[in-house]
Amino acid sequence: MRIADLRAVPISFPVPAERSVTLGIGRSVKRDAVLVRVETDDGHVGWGEAHHGRCPGAIAKLVDTTLRELTLGYDARDVVGVWAHVYRMQLASHGMGAAAALALSGLDMALWDLRCQDADASLFRLLGGSAKPIRAYAGGIALGWQEPSLLAEEALRYVAAGYRALKLRVGDTPARDIARVEAVRCAVGDGIEILVDANTRYSLADVRKVMPAFDEAAVGWLEEPFSPLDRHAYSVAATLGSVPLAAGENHHTRYEFATLLDDGDVQVLQPDLSKCGGVTEAMRVAAMASARKLDVHPHTSATAINMATTLHFLCSIDNPGYFEGDVTTLNPFRDEMTDRPPYQLDGNGCVTAPEGIGIGLKIDQAFLDAHPLIDGPCYV
């Protein structure tokens, strides 16, 4: 079962103006994803997802050239061996930094898919887990910078759909952010968990202003107030209130998570399996977090592959936190790319993973053919 071919399949779809959402990284005008397809010499095909990194063509090029050159002929079942080889030859030495971690994440996911096919097993079985309900929050590209009353209406729709937690986009002005959080708390009552995500847009002065109100509204976490490199700001912000800080979707490999854990300022860890180094690395991050008595709340985007893989991962660790449900109103990568949905929400705010070989989903090649890469910005 040797790697005979490896290539990226970058895909896109435009977001019409009436469906676009504004958040701390801009207004969504397009969605991108980079799938990774690995074919073995005995005819098996495995699929993974690399995060697009806001430059899907570059991630695809890295997969199609460097990763391909490094891995052709390797035993596809030696997932840890291939990971270590790519890490040593690319991430640890010649660079491309985050881009290489994103590309490796997609490759790693595809190799786990092949390993599952070889073992005729679902992913959570191979990882030591079982099918179990996982708590979910309403996330994705939703609950953005709109008028508080409209935001409260949107939040109530997700509560009616079954979610018991939801994540608002902040990182606007402190006053507007506080008004949104207060309006949603007033609308949903005390029984629903409210989480907030600043998408790295806050200054320390902003955090000083919002923290008392977020404390008062019992916000469950404040996600990415700053860039992941801004460690000093995290250490100061951790002293400004009782709302836990969250981060991890822009941290890559266990080494960056080890630093995050050593710093001790972030209590909510959010590795994205399409960014941190794939399933292999996320399991290592989860083990490190378990030793600190911290739960893992993965970031998920953008397609059904990463969503279902993340759910299988959460079913396989002893410290699962929330699954990020994608309540984006328009996401054909979630709804149309595979033969069935990547997760099902039950009446208790929990989701369950699709069962079957691998992550339990089949990729629709015709869908991929119909959604070729669109160059240009995904947020403006």
Q: According to DSSP H, which parts of the chain are helical?
A: 56-62, 68-71, 79-86, 97-119, 123-126, 148-161, 174-188, 204-216, 231-237, 253-263, 278-291, 304-314, 332-335, 365-370
Contact 225, 237 (CB under 8 A): yes
Q: Which positions from 137 to 166 touch Mg ion by CB under 5 A, shown as an x/- string?
A: ------------------------------
Q: Is 163 left (phi over 0), alpha (psi -120 to 50) or beta?
A: beta
Euclidean distance between CA atoms 373 and 34, whole angstroms:
9
Shortest Å, Cβ 23 to Mg ion: 9
Shortest Å, Cβ 271 to Mg ion: 12
Record the tokens describing residue 44, joined without a space: 């098996």
Choice between 108 and 324, CB closer to Mg ion: 324
Q: Is 172 in the site for Mg ion (CB under 5 A)?
A: no
Choice between 60 and 142, CB closer to Mg ion: 142
Which SS3 state, helix, strand or coil, does residue 151 take? helix
Shortest Å, Cβ 79 to Mg ion: 27
Q: Cα separations (Å) of 164 from 161, 188, 193, 349, 366?
A: 9, 10, 6, 5, 36
- Which residue, 208, 162, 160, 166, is CA-closest to 183? 166
Shortest Å, Cβ 24 to Mg ion: 8
Shortest Å, Cβ 198 to Mg ion: 8
Which H or E run includes 30? strand 30-40
> Segment contacting Mg ion (CB under 5 A): 57-65, 197-205, 283-291, 335-343?
197-205
Q: Is 197 in the site for Mg ion (CB under 5 A)?
A: yes
Shortest Å, Cβ 249 to Mg ion: 5
Size of the site for Mg ion (CB under 5 A): 2
Choice between 206 and 223, CB closer to Mg ion: 223
The residue with its CB nearest to Mg ion is 197
> Segment contacting Mg ion (CB under 5 A): 67-75, 192-200, 204-212, 256-264?
192-200
Residues within window 218-247 making contact with Mg ion, judged by CB under 5 A? 223
> Within the chain, how many helices (H) and strands (E) appear?
14, 14
For Mg ion, the binding residues (CB under 5 A) are: 197, 223
